[in-house]
Amino acid sequence: MPSKLKLVDVLSRRIRQLSQSKAASSIKWKLHWLAPNLMRHPHFSAGEADYHFKRDEKLNRETCPAGDEEIRSPMVWGLELYGPQEIGALYRALERFKWQAGWGRSEKESAIAWLQNERAYGRDGSWYNVGIVVPNSQRQNYVTADNYADPPKQANHLLVRLFQPTPSLTCLLIGFSLKEELASSYHNQLKLDRKSHYRRIRRRWAIEHLSPEHIKSKSIDDTRNQLQDLASNWFSKNAPGYFSNTISRVITAELITTKNQSLFPNSKNDHVRDWRSIVSATTPFNIWTLEDCPAMQFIVENRKEYDKRFHLITNLHTDKIPEDKIKHLGGHQPHAYTYFCHEHLDEILVNFAAIEFLVEVSKNLKTSTTSLKLDQVRKRTSAKSLEKIQRFFDMSIGTPLIASELKMRTEDKSLYSFQCSKFSATSLWDEKKSKPLAELLCEHTKYLASRTISEEGLTRDHFAQLANIVSVRESVKAQSRMEWLTLMALVVALISLWVSFSKS
């Protein structure tokens, strides 16, 4: 019996010690959570701090560009589309800016006159080069420039072009030439030595550890968001079109120039984690290369955030550009690099914008269908339901026409070959083969246009039937109300007759 009592006593003391240690550990963890970078992790030893210090040094060294490497982002492009509903906003913008192609041209040769003529006669496949557009405050610095507009504060000037891909669809492409502070932002962010730290996250009592690589990646993403917002904000303020009105952003692209090495991996075995993977993580199968100048490549980045989803990243490896490719632009100069890429990307960006237009239209059709169904109409007032149906028909004006025109455009494959034939990517199935960009754009546009036409017709029929049902239901309700009013009027008349007889 004494031995059993002794064993119970030992076990009870051990349980009390464990409960006290757990409580103390919980308190320490909560203190660490409240001030993660001041209070040490309760389970970390003194050697952990030394380990993280050495690891930070290693990661900073790996993610820092070499001493003579130059990473710049001299230009960002924005694209906006204008259908029958949005073209009025573009007319007003062009009338206000008075842009024209070249110096000293008459009003009959202005951008707005060209656009009105192209849309009036239903022409397609044409384009109008406005060229350089300088700030109003710098007119005296440009002798031959005759186009003016105030660019964003972070930009020096604009490069403007108008495209008419189909008779009913106009594209405005603007390149924003960035000032040095923003153009060198990527390089400066990667050069900084970062220190790992902890950060509280939304989940209760949870902490996230951020390494130098994560911190640099976050700063690069913030800069990229700034570039996209720069273009989107200018369009929404000066010339809002389809994308500005529906998703509050425009299609964007950026140019990143590097001196010593390409921004993108050269082969599928190139998995080195360095500064390139922070700026743009991709695979060789998503890289489109200019065949007669491999120094120029681009990728289409589908970002995690939906509102920043479509973004094209272009890289120009400046040391690998043949002299004859840029000699007519002034040789190896920053402005020559931007003009070179501007010339090769413009119509490719227009085709990508058309694809994104079809994607957004298809998404809006699905959203409209699911947001208003017959069982949901019963829970709402019929008037609001009819207003929503009317709003759908108003917003979809011109959509079937544009989708049909884009589908017809894909029948002429030579058009895509002329605009995009110079770019190709490594085949996913055979690295020795390449897939042409023109073929991909043509096939994808045709598929999306056909799907959009079908979905739009089905959605229109669905809403037409729904509107008829709601109208019949309202008619029945109105008839029922009239019957009650007639009955009440008859009762009032009988009462009045009875009162008059009783008085007499």
Question: 217-235 pLDDT, tens per residue?
Answer: 899 999 999 999 999 999 9
Contact at 8 Å (CB) between 190 and 278? yes
Backbone angles phi, psi at 253, to 5 degrees: -150, 155
pLDDT score recorded for residue 54: 86
Which of 26, 44, 62 is the last residue in one of the domains?
62
The amino acid that residue 458 corresponds to is L
3-class DSSP state for residue 257?
strand
Q: Is there a domain that residue 435 lies in?
A: yes
Q: What is the mean pLDDT of residues 125-129?
A: 91
Q: Is there a domain that residue 442 lies in?
A: yes
Considering the chain, what is the average pLDDT of its residues?
82
Q: Which two tokens stand for residue 413?
A: 């494959």
Going by pLDDT thresholds of 50, 70 and 90, the confidence category of residue 12 is: low
List pLDDT tens digits, range 336-350: 999 999 999 999 999
Contact at 8 Å (CB) between 148 and 134? yes
Going by pLDDT thresholds of 50, 70 and 90, the confidence category of residue 116 is: very high
Tracing tokens 């490549």 back to the chain, one arrives at: 297
Tracing tokens 């110079």 back to the chain, one arrives at: 422
Q: Which two tokens stand for residue 161?
A: 């072009």
User: What is the C-alpha to C-alpha distance for residues 419 and 347, in angstroms, rounded to an integer?
Assistant: 6
pLDDT score recorded for residue 178: 96
Q: Is there a domain that residue 282 lies in?
A: no
Most confident of 141-145, 203-207, 370-374, 497-501: 497-501
The amino acid that residue 386 corresponds to is L
The closest of 342, 321, 344, 316 to 332, measured between CA atoms, is 321
Q: Say yes or no to pLDDT of 486 above 70.
A: yes
CA atoms within 13 A on the CB side of 371: 12
Q: Is 257 left (phi over 0), alpha (psi -120 to 50) or beta?
A: beta
What does each C-alpha distance from 26 to 29, 32, 60 come to in angstroms?
5, 10, 34
Q: Is there a domain that residue 70 lies in?
A: no
Most confident of 74-83, 124-133, 330-339, 493-502: 74-83
Structural domains of the chain, count: 2
Q: Say yes or no to pLDDT of 270 above 60.
A: no
More confident residue, 222 or 377: 222
- Surface-to-core class of residue 320, CB atoms within 10 Å of its CB (0-12 exposed, 13-18 middle, 19+ buried): middle
Q: Is there a domain that residue 375 lies in?
A: yes
More confident residue, 68 or 12: 68
The closest of 190, 196, 236 to 217, measured between CA atoms, is 190
Which of 33, 62, 91 is the last residue in one of the domains?
62
Q: Quick one: angle between helices 399-409 and 334-371, nearest 10?
A: 130
List pLDDT tens digits, range 464-485: 666 666 666 666 677 777 878 8
What is the DSSP-derived secondary structure letter of residue 66?
P
Contact at 8 Å (CB) between 410 and 438? no
pLDDT score recorded for residue 43: 65
pLDDT score recorded for residue 400: 86
Q: Say yes or no to pLDDT of 242 above 70.
A: yes
User: What is the C-alpha to C-alpha distance for residues 131 and 99, in angstroms, rounded to an integer?
Assistant: 9
Q: Is there a domain that residue 126 lies in?
A: no
Q: What is the mean pLDDT of residues 347-354?
A: 94
Range of the domain at 58: 2-62
Q: What is the mean pLDDT of residues 121-138?
A: 88
Q: Say yes or no to pLDDT of 379 above 50.
A: no
Q: What is the mean pLDDT of residues 278-290?
A: 85
Q: What is the mean pLDDT of residues 329-336?
A: 89
Q: Which two tokens stand for residue 249?
A: 């952003």
Q: Is 171 left (phi over 0), alpha (psi -120 to 50) or beta?
A: beta
pLDDT score recorded for residue 376: 54
Contact at 8 Å (CB) between 401 and 84? yes
Q: What is the DSSP string of 283-332?
A: -GGG-EEETT-TTEEEEEEE-SSGGG-EEEEEEEEGGGS-HHHHGGGTSS
Going by pLDDT thresholds of 50, 70 and 90, the confidence category of residue 419 is: confident
Q: Say yes or no to pLDDT of 269 above 70.
A: no
* 162: β partners: 128, 172
The closest of 111, 127, 308, 345 to 221, measured between CA atoms, is 308
pLDDT score recorded for residue 238: 96
Q: Is there a domain that residue 17 lies in?
A: yes
What is the DSSP-derived secondary structure letter of residue 147?
-
User: What is the C-alpha to C-alpha distance for residues 101 and 374, in angstroms, rounded to an integer?
Assistant: 53
Q: Is there a domain that residue 157 lies in?
A: no
User: What is the C-alpha to C-alpha distance for residues 3 and 8, in angstroms, rounded to an integer?
Assistant: 9
Q: What is the mean pLDDT of residues 47-54?
A: 76
User: What is the C-alpha to C-alpha distance for residues 313 and 304, in angstroms, rounded to an integer?
Assistant: 15
Q: Say yes or no to pLDDT of 17 above 90.
A: no
Most confident of 141-155, 378-392, 471-485: 141-155
Q: Say yes or no to pLDDT of 195 above 80.
A: yes
pLDDT score recorded for residue 390: 63
Stated pTM of the model: 0.82
Contact at 8 Å (CB) between 257 and 74? yes
Which of 16, 41, 62 is the last residue in one of the domains?
62
Terminal-residue alpha carbon distance, the chain: 114
Q: What percent of the chain is predicted at pLDDT more than 70?
A: 74
More confident residue, 238 or 26: 238
Contact at 8 Å (CB) between 420 and 351? yes
